Amino acid sequence: MMKFFALTKLRSVSLASAVILPAMLAPAAFADNPAPNPNRRVLIRDITSVEGVRSNMLVGYGLVVGLNRTGDSQQTYFTVQTLANAMQKMGVLISPAQVEVKNVASVFITASLPPFARPGATLDVTVSSVGDAKSLVGGVLLMSALHGPDGQIYAEAQGPLVMGGYIAGSGTNGKEVNSVTVGSIPNGGLVERDASVDLHDFKTVSLLLRNPDFTTAKQIADAVNQEFQKTVASALDSSRVDVSVADTGASSVPVLISRLQNLPLTVFTPAKIVINERTGTIVLGGDVKLTPVSVIHGNLSIQVVTSYAVMPLGGVQGSSLSQERGGRGGPSGGATGAGGGRDGGRSEQGRSENSGFVQNPTAALVPEQSVNVNDAPTQTMRLDEGANVEQLVNGLHAIGTTARDVVAILEAIKAEGGIQAELEVQ
């Protein structure tokens, strides 16, 4: 029996299991690797910001012109109306119904106004299409006002766009790299209104923690008080430390802020594990501690394969049957000339219709299934008292776990109480 494999389907099921058991009292499995010090030395400027010293968001609306027939379509009515309004300001009255906007696109402009920005300072702006424009490549932004949250105009933007993408070809043969409807204008914004904060009016300098923590706030207050040899700072809560300007005796607020931001500090970071199950990303803090725990992990793989083989059916080829019919019809037709002619015609017709496998198929595709089961040996890992993240990761790699397996194992260890840290699943 000959088999010709024409098509193969593969179905596989992978089952991973992990069993978490409290570890028995035994010598430390990883005693040779000392636990790393979870403390780290930083400056106050790295973990805090000064209240009132901040950036402000700016947004505006405008037109990008000079496009190579890649702008908004005629159905984008607000682009047509904006162009007509812009032309009217230039002293040209046109009807919006008669305007072609293939070389024009409506855009939103965004920028960030830094603290202490004075009139005349430049800003980097980002330009994004809001219509159905195909591309902003080669366009120039017309002068547009940038508004702050209070509705006031704080800057103006204008200039040629710098694009980070391009389009090559057209239709089904085209290729687009990165975005061609978002561009930037370096130094394209010009500050028109002073939005800086007057630091001379500060009676108190408030330090805001980027990662709120009561212990860190207390340490900042203690470091400031030790620097000035008296009580000038106090922690109000987990995210704010106030420093009295008058009590420090500083000559100016900027000098005081500079002195505060350069104070060194030992930070105790909280124990935390962040897991992203969608991407398989796992981030573990170096100060995460584990209690004695044993991990038993094994893989069971079931694979079902369906293959198709060509199997003969044992039939007779149609051409042979037709020849046999023709042979039987020949003698009877030979007795009389007319009858022989009619039988002979049917015989020729049978040969032409029955040649090959048309009426009598002799083979068919028959599915065949095979099941393969692979049960890998169980892998065991034990962590003893005082184990840290490095030892956990090394142990999981040693037993051949994948990122998905590590996520399941960490969640199981947390449920068992073996991880002394916050587990955040994204």
Q: Which residues contact 63 (CB under 8 A, 6 or more apart)?
A: 79, 82, 83, 86, 104, 105, 106, 107, 141, 142, 144
Residues 187 and 117 in one domain: yes
Do 30 and 163 belong together in one domain? no
Residues 118 and 168 in one domain: yes
pLDDT recorded at residue 283: 81
Residue 404 has pLDDT above 70, yes or no: yes
The pLDDT mean for the chain works out to 76
- Same domain (yes/no): 159, 61: yes
Look at residue 327 and tell me if it is in a domain: yes
Find the range with the poorest average confidence among 74-78, 231-235, 240-244.
74-78
**87 is a domain residue:** yes
Range of the domain at 297: 11-34+273-303+374-425
Taking the C-alpha atoms of residue 127 and residue 16, their distance in angstroms, rounded to an integer, is: 49
Q: Give domain status of residue 99, yes or no.
A: yes
Query: Tokens in use for 114?
Result: 């830094």
Specify the range with the lowest mean pLDDT, choosing from 49-58, 181-190, 242-251, 365-374. Answer: 365-374
Task: For residue range 185-213, list pLDDT tens digits in order.
Answer: 999 999 999 888 888 888 999 999 998 99
Strand-pair partners of 296: 19, 380
What's the CA gap between 377 and 372, in Å, rounded?
A: 16
- Asked if pLDDT for residue 391 goes beyond 50, the answer is yes
* Rounded-to-10 torsion of CA 164, 168, 170, 173: -120
Band (pLDDT 50/70/90 cuts) for residue 35 is very low
Structural domains of the chain, count: 4
Instruction: Answer yes or no: is 52 within a domain.
Output: no
Listed range (127-141, 340-354, 375-389) with the worst mean pLDDT:
340-354
What does the pLDDT read at residue 38?
A: 46
Residues 379, 393 within the same domain: yes
Q: Are residues 213 and 299 in the same domain?
A: no
Q: Is residue 233 part of a domain?
A: yes
Looking at the fold, whether 340 and 403 belong to one and the same domain comes out as: no
Establish if 5 belongs to a structural domain.
no
More confident residue, 274 or 302: 274
334 neighbors 418 (Cβ within 8 angstroms): no
pLDDT band at residue 378 using 50, 70 and 90 as cut-offs: low
> At residue 26, does pLDDT exceed 60?
no
Same domain, 226 and 104: no
**Do residues 289 and 410 both lie within one domain?**
yes
Q: Report pLDDT for 353.
A: 47
Please say if the pLDDT value at position 268 is more than 70. Answer: yes
pLDDT in tens, 109-120: 999 999 999 999
Is the confidence at residue 319, as pLDDT, over 60?
no
In a domain, 6, yes or no: no
How confident is residue 255, by pLDDT bands cut at 50, 70 and 90?
very high
Determine the average pLDDT of the residues in 165-194: 80
pLDDT for 351 beyond 70 = no
- pLDDT at residue 373, rounded to an integer: 59
Alpha-carbon distances, residue 382 vs 29, 106, 153, 226, 293 (angstroms): 7, 62, 64, 45, 6
In a domain, 44, yes or no: no
Residues 16 and 92 in one domain: no
176 and 215 inside one domain: no
**Which residue, 191, 208, 239, sits at the end of a domain?**
191
User: Are both 227 and 345 inside the same structural domain?
Assistant: no
Average pLDDT (362-382) is: 67
